[in-house]
Amino acid sequence: MLINQITYRKFIITIFGFLMVVFSSCEKAIETVEVLSPDENITYKVETKNGKLTYSVFSKDGQIIEKSVLGLNVNGQSISLNSVIKRIENYKLNETYPYRGVHNTAINNFKAAKIYVTSTTSTFVLDVKVFNDGVAFRYLIDNIGDAVINQEFTNFVLPIGSKVWSQSNNKHYEAHYTEKLSEEFKKDEIIGPPATILLPNLKTYIAITESGLTDFAGMSLMADGNRSFKAMLSGDTKKVGNISSPWRIIEIGNDLNTLVNCDIIANVSPNYDKNLFPDGYDTDLG
């Protein structure tokens, strides 16, 4: 009887240990997330390595954005310090809606993921939407009380040989545009978006800009002298409670016409006030 009890006890301990290993494996942090466009030609890839949160963008014709940093500074602390991806919530949408001008029907077709991240200082969501003609992403940050956002770490690393058309005015975006290669920008040189880029494959154009800018500092880009362009905020942003950043947008197409007719900026912008514009884009403002 004693032998049976001992054997039974060892069996229980063995099973318990096995279950602990299984559950520990199930809770293992996610290191890589890929979100594909509906036509599967564009991929937004998120990675964590040694606590560093990064993203990159690919198309069927090659790399769009090389591995680039993600993050914001909230109340003097980086939200992405020692990041761990905990879970992913996928969602999607395919709709059209009335728009303005000759291009009077907008297409809002995307696959998306809310990527839940914990770090040393914060819990937040990287919200990613991937369209057939580009990507959009933003930060949703859990916050209680007052907050000041005074710095952004998001950057955009361009492939070597990328041709960039940009202007240096980050106030009203109306300076003369100039052309130079991504590696020719000097450290701390400023770009007022949108920046238009022809990638070295000579097949792909992209435009870097933002949208959904509500009660938040505007974004320009600052070169680091090594093909990387960091999101630079125009000033401090003060918030109370949870924080939603503007969308960072990379439009992607095989020609400039695709960029001009891209609907991503409108898709991620807040809806218009129907009391102010009862007939939508056909409202007579005269």
In a domain, 180, yes or no: yes
The total domain count for the chain is: 1
Least trusted range by pLDDT, from 23-27, 140-144, 219-223, 278-282: 23-27
CATH number, domain of 113, equals 2.70.98.10
| 278 within some domain | no
In a domain? residue 6: no
Count Cβ atoms below 10 Å from residue 56 Cβ, excluding itself: 17
Whether 186 maps to a domain, the answer reads yes
Q: What are the tokens at 111?
A: 């696959």
Neighbours of 53 (CB within 10 A): 25
How do residues 223-259 score in pLDDT, each as one tens digit?
999 999 999 999 999 999 999 999 999 999 999 999 9
Does 210 map to a domain?
A: yes
Confidence at residue 276, expressed as pLDDT on a 0 to 100 scale: 82
In a domain, 14, yes or no: no
What is the sign, positive or negative, of the torsion defined by CA atoms of 215, 220, 221, 222?
A: negative
pLDDT at residue 285 tops 70: no
The more confident residue out of 107 and 214 is 107
For residue 7, the model assigns a pLDDT of: 56
Q: Is 72 part of a structural domain of the chain?
A: yes
Higher pLDDT, 6 or 157: 157
- The confidence score (pLDDT) of residue 1 equals 47
User: What confidence score (pLDDT) does residue 259 get?
Assistant: 96
Strand pairing report for 247-253 and 243-244: unpaired
The SS3 call for residue 268 is: coil
Minimum mean pLDDT range among 4-13, 78-87, 124-133, 192-201: 4-13
149 domain residue, yes or no: yes
pLDDT of residue 274: 81
pLDDT tens for each residue of 46-81: 999 999 999 999 999 999 999 999 999 999 999 999
- Show the domain range for 113: 30-269
Q: Are 259 and 251 in contact (CB under 8 A)?
A: yes
- For the chain, percent of residues with pLDDT exceeding 90: 75
